[in-house]
Structure 1
Amino acid sequence: MESRMRKSLGKGLEALLTAPTPAAAPSELTVAIRRHGLLQPLVVRHIAGRYELIAGERRLRAATRAGLARVPVIVREARAEDRLELALIENVQRENLTALEEAEAYRQLLDQHGLTQDELAERVGKSRPAITNTLRLLGLPDAVKAQLESGELTAGHARAVLAIEGVTEQVSFAREIVTRHLTKSETERLAAARRARQGKQPAAGRPTDVHLRGLAEEFTRGLGTRVRITRHPRGGSIEIEFYSDAELDRLIDRLRQALPRA
């Protein structure tokens, strides 16, 4: 059942509306609803004299199993794209997605609905850094993604792999993590050592530039995506992250608006 849900996610948002919900998934929810009632209303829309469910399939199934004859609902006028967005958010919040499935779901919301990472974080009830860290997993080499999907690596391991520069080096590092059965903390320490050897760490004893860190946080809030400012011996760099073509277009528009007109 779970594999069918994952395949539906990969086919796009439309498939989520008809994807079967795992039969065993609502069991704990059923017990809670039987004891406390349905605390969070379902979302429906009125169409042709009937009501169509937009979000809350698992809660509806669980309420039915709990023996409820009536449930609270919110009636909403929703366009097709709004229904797809609500359905995807429902799945992100409620289903047991893998880290990569969650990242892909976030990318679809950013890409197809024009949300910023801050807006997405607010809608799914997570912090923006959590959204950013999950999206970064999409940048892993395919071989490392396969290890993450199979359970050989955790999301924490995978984020440490992303700290290493170069696809070949990342694949090799991931293989070493699996072979040596490294914990997340061991992996992070080893990744820090590798980055130091790659020359990406600041010089030892160099004070943290509080001003630059503050600017990076200000730019992150203003652009709605992660921004890093790094000093180098002969200058520095500003790195702006994006995770879809739509997000890149949005960032380009924002930056162009800030440029002085000729």
Structure 2
Amino acid sequence: MAKATKKQALGRGLSALLKDPENDIQSANDKNADKVVGNIVELDIDAIEVNPFQPRSNFNDEALNELATSIRELGVIQPITVRKVDFNKYQLVSGERRYRASKLIGLDTIPAYIRIANDQESLEMALVENIQRQDLDPIEIALSYQRLMDEIELTQEKLSERVGKKRSTITNYLRLLRLDPIIQTGMRDGFLSMGHGRALVNIEKKSDQIALYEKIIEQNLSVRETEREVKAYHSGPKNTKGKKPSASVPDFAKENIDKFTDHLSVKVAISASEKGKGKITIPFHSQEEFKRIKKLILGE
């Protein structure tokens, strides 16, 4: 307990040092930089801005509230990491959930590690740190790999070395980005596993991908069953005797897909038989978007 109190006091002292205009640290070579860089500093939460390079786009409201409750009781156990962008101004590199949860309960300060980094280094740190997390969905990981390759100009071999993953693993994630956006949304929302996605990506035609995706959801197909469906798809009519061909979307449904999409501002999927039986799938990515769609449909 004595060590924790001493560290907290040191953090407050460093915070005061950073607010002194005569000690405006801009690089690792500046005076007093060694006292700040790599140490835990209590920073004003209002002096921190979110990272525009943050690869994570989904923040579960329930999980965020649980974290906020934990921080209210125990404090921020693991400091966030920031980079200095101006005098007494910082940008998040990692720890956005802790930052959001701390703001949620009205904390004035938050413990942080300070880094001196340019935009490219900040992007790379944020992407690599987030890739190592256990709670990212496969599409978020795939997008992070793609951004590292595009914006840091890494080859798959160099990316493999940088993140400590086999090249084949990276390739499998990147291939998921060939899936139709509706299917990617399904994966992000937990309706499909990565195994399902890896099987579906072997179907090039997007409309056929979606047809099988809807069958997976409707019949709760396992990954192995999905792989068999994909194999049958490529085998053609010769090896699909006794199998009912996938029903095409009838005209009455096709004619209204765009109307639903325009009204709700999300890409709606409709599947239906000629007899009129079917379903409408409306994706949403957050509680706020769910409420917006609910208001449009129910007027509440």
Give the TM-score normalised by structure 2: 0.44
Choose 1 or 2 for highest CA Rg: 2
The normalised TM-score by structure 1 is 0.50
